[in-house]
Amino acid sequence: MKNKIEKVMVTGGLGFIGSHFVELLIAHGYQVMTFDNISYAADQSFLRSIEKSKLHNFVRGDVRDEIKIKQALEEFRPNYVVNFAAESHVDNSLREPKLFCDVNFMGAATLLDEIRKITPKVGSTNFVKFVQIGTDEVYGSRKVTEVADPQTLLSPSNVYSASKAAADLLALSYFKTYEIPIVVTRACNNYGPRQHTEKFIPTILKAIKNNKTIPLYGSGDQMRQWIHVLDHAAAIFEIMLHGAPGTIFNVGDENYISNLELAKKICGLYDAIYNNPLGTSENLIRHVDDRLGHDFGYSISSDDTRSQLSWSPKISFEKGLSNLVATTFVTRST
């Protein structure tokens, strides 16, 4: 039991992954400030379960707003800042590349520099530990056998991943230059409750629910690695507390599957749950023109994270995906 309640500022805490992390912090007794600009991908209802908690407060603001960030840091005085705030939909980055550079890089830059300004002299125990939430996409397109570890050369393929890679490197430079305790995380594809419908799995679920076409880029042979959002949140919690400053932590599970096979699996789960003839939902799948610069695959090793921290994934892909499909359609009329 902690003698003093520690404080965590979570930027982007109304998003898919961030909201699950905020709930986890509250469950562990931390004082939390959720800082979010409530963009289209955020939802205040995600934190309805803790809206009456005295441990939580919400501040609306943009991570690029120096004045608002400065005010939040000075008034809240967090022990940790965990940065989830980002534009993350690759399709959108193809249309608005400058926005992604601005939010993902300059947002991180604003946070880091305001933290630098309130950082005490080296040797003090009052540092703010900063966690930069990244993505496996910074390593570029890889085969399943071409596993990336934290020392792997970065090779981003699109503006989204390039902007995230730049933010990672900037954060690590603040550790080296100013000795601010900073850690970087890079996770594989997440799935689970609350994910925005622009993402792959929710797109499939929405199409099935509305009996609409399921769009599949190109051949659908692209390989992805998946982790449940609750397992990811648990990893970030351990990294925040125990991750050595200046370290990069990959966060992944060993769930490799092609986009086509995943779409078929989800369709099969739905048909089984609702006693549809086998293949009914699968007939909704349609191949469409591939996305510009579409990475064939991602593959990361989280061995270092598992060996250095007391963390490993707990939710099997089969169980997690089955529960997601079942709960998505709980309001389905019979």
Average pLDDT over residues 138-154: 95
- Tell me if 266 is assigned to some domain: no
179 is catalytic: no
**What local confidence, expressed as pLDDT, does residue 119 receive?**
81
- Tell me if 201 is assigned to some domain: no
Average pLDDT over residues 139-153: 95
79-131 residue pLDDT tens: 999 999 998 777 777 788 899 999 999 999 999 999 999 887 555 567 899 99
- Tell me if 281 is assigned to some domain: no
223-282 residue pLDDT tens: 999 999 999 999 999 999 999 999 999 999 989 999 999 999 999 999 999 888 988 999
Q: Do strands 214-217 and 129-135 pair parallel, antiparallel, or not at all (unpaired)?
A: unpaired
DSSP string computed for 185-241: EEE-EEESTT--TTSHHHHHHHHHHTT--EEEETTS--EEEEEEHHHHHHHHHHHHH
Catalytic residue among 30, 80, 160, 270: 160
For the chain, the domain total comes to 1
176-211 residue pLDDT tens: 999 999 999 999 999 999 999 989 999 999 999 999
**What local confidence, expressed as pLDDT, does residue 122 receive?**
53
- Tell me if 50 is assigned to some domain: yes
DSSP string computed for 266-278: HHHHHHHHTTPPT
- Tell me if 331 is assigned to some domain: no
- Tell me if 182 is assigned to some domain: yes
Top-confidence residue, 278 or 305: 305
- Tell me if 99 is assigned to some domain: yes
Enclosing domain of residue 308: 7-193+226-255+295-315
Rounded percentage of the chain residues whose pLDDT exceeds 70: 96
In this structure, what CATH number is given to the domain that contains residue 108? 3.40.50.720
- Tell me if 31 is assigned to some domain: yes
Q: Is pLDDT of 330 > 90? A: no
Q: Do strands 80-83 and 7-11 pair parallel, antiparallel, or not at all (unpaired)?
A: parallel
Among 86-95, 148-157, 180-189, 321-330, the range scoring the smallest mean pLDDT is 86-95
d(CA 14, CA 8): 14
**What local confidence, expressed as pLDDT, does residue 242 receive?**
97
Among 36-50, 86-100, 276-290, the range scoring the smallest mean pLDDT is 86-100
Catalytic residue among 36, 87, 136, 295: 136
74 is catalytic: no
174 is catalytic: no
Catalytic residue among 62, 114, 137, 295: 137
